[in-house]
Structure 1
């Protein structure tokens, strides 16, 4: 019997994940049955269960693939030299994720809806929650040295802990995705403009006008 190539196995796994993602995006995790997934991917139960033990494993694999894609996009953007400003870098990452199509096509709102569903599912699924926690830790590990580089070059204030800034930048991207899912697509330039506005903030002068790049006194 001819041995099945790894490329074939990878392509079949991707086929199953893409079909499941389409089903989940359209109907939600709990309203989607495995039978519906089987019909969508046009495969037998045996072919699908060879890769995934059930719906929960499919959801976990989709979450892991999405996180890997996000982290990979950040890795590639962070390797750019000279390093672009934070608003430009985040815009490049979001564009790459949009153009790559992800698991559900090239509609950013559709992809964002799937991601928001994954977040909500973590409230009842501890294994999935750990997948997301691990992905978040890895993403922070990419962002913290980036923030430190920005601080060293003067693009960001050096008196704020880099891990705090990294967490907030990630939260900004998450919030942008949530707005895409809930309120419809918006240009990536909206995110970039907002970041530029926030980066101009500093400690307030007595007049109440922000002093750009003024140092912040942190509690000891």
Structure 2
């Protein structure tokens, strides 16, 4: 019997994960059954269970995979020196994050924003996945702290605001935009960039003559 190549095994595993991700993005983790996944990927139960013992293992693999890719996107983009301005930086991060599994769609819309909402919700009830989320959040926050400190060192940003406060705000901005994509439909990243540019351009109120 011919041996199955590692490339084939990896492709099959990816096929199962992508099919499960579509199901989860469409109906949520807990409203999706393994039968739904089997139908989506058009494989037998034996073929799927060779890779994953059940739905919980599928959920864990997807959550860990999504968070790992988001972490990598943040680390790569925020490693630039000197860092670009926040509007450019956030645009690059979001483009990378929203491009994860960009071939997956649900109802003709990108599946990733819906899926990440499911991921965030799942980490609230799953202690193991919550630890993964905490680790990723720590790495991402640290990356943004470095960026804020670089802005301050270059005289681009007020130095009297703690860098951690800036980092939390930037993370919240990205999370909020992804949530909007899930709740209200796709919006170009440029919309957020333009909003940031407007906020960054603010000056104090002009006195009346």
Tell whether the 8 Å contact from 2:148 to 2:163 is kept in structure 1 after alignment: yes
Alpha-carbon contact 2:13-2:51 (below 8 Å) kept: yes
C-alpha displacement of 1:102: 4.2
Q: Does 1:116 align with 2:122?
A: no
Secondary structure of the residue that 1:132 maps to in structure 2? helix
Alignment-derived partner of residue 44 in structure 1: 44
User: Contact 1:64–1:135 at 8 Å: present in 2 too?
Assistant: no
Aligned partner of residue 163 in structure 1, secondary structure? helix
- Give the deviation of 1:109 after TM superposition: 5.0
The alpha-carbon distance between structure 1 residues 103 and 154, as it changes in their structure 2 partners (threshold 3 A), is farther
Pair 1:158 & 2:148 matched: no
Deviations 1:84-141 (A, max 9, x none): 2111011122223334544724977531111112212223222222222222122223
1:107-186 paired onto structure 2 within 5 Å: 109-186=110-187
Which of structures 1 and 2 has the larger relative contact order (alpha carbons within 8 angstroms, sep 6+)? Answer: 2
State whether residues 60 and 131 of structure 1, in contact with CA within 8 Å, keep that contact through their aligned partners in structure 2: no
Distance 1:68 1:102, change over 3 A: farther
Say if 1:82 and 1:165 are closer, same or farther in 2 by CA, change over 3 A: closer
**Shift of the alpha carbon at 1:66?**
1.4
Contact map agreement 2:109 2:185 (CA 8 A) in 1 = no
What is the TM-score of this pair, normalised by structure 1? 0.80
Count of residues paired in the alignment: 205
User: More displaced, 128-137 or 31-40?
Assistant: 128-137
Pair 1:167–1:51, CA change in 2 (3 A):
farther
Cα distance in 1 for partners of 2:175, 2:109 equals 13
Distance 1:60 1:125, change over 3 A: same
State the 1:25 CA deviation.
1.2
Aligned to 1:215: none
- Structure 1 stretch displaced more, 156-165 or 172-181: 156-165
Superposed CA deviations along residues 47-87 of structure 1, whole A, max 9, x for unmatched, are: 32232222122122112211222222223323445532111
C-alpha separation in 2, matches of 1:191 and 1:16: 34
Q: 2:69, 2:100 within 8 Å by CA — same for their partners in 1?
A: no
Offset of residue 201 of structure 1? 5.8
Report the counterpart of residue 193 of structure 2 in structure 1: 192
Structure 1 residue runs of 5 or longer lacking an equivalent are 211-220
CA distance in 1, matches of 2:194, 2:61: 34
Cα root mean square deviation, aligned? 2.6
Q: After TM superposition, what 4+ stretches of structure 1 lie above 6 angstroms from structure 2?
A: none
> Which moves more between the two structures, 160-169 or 43-52?
43-52
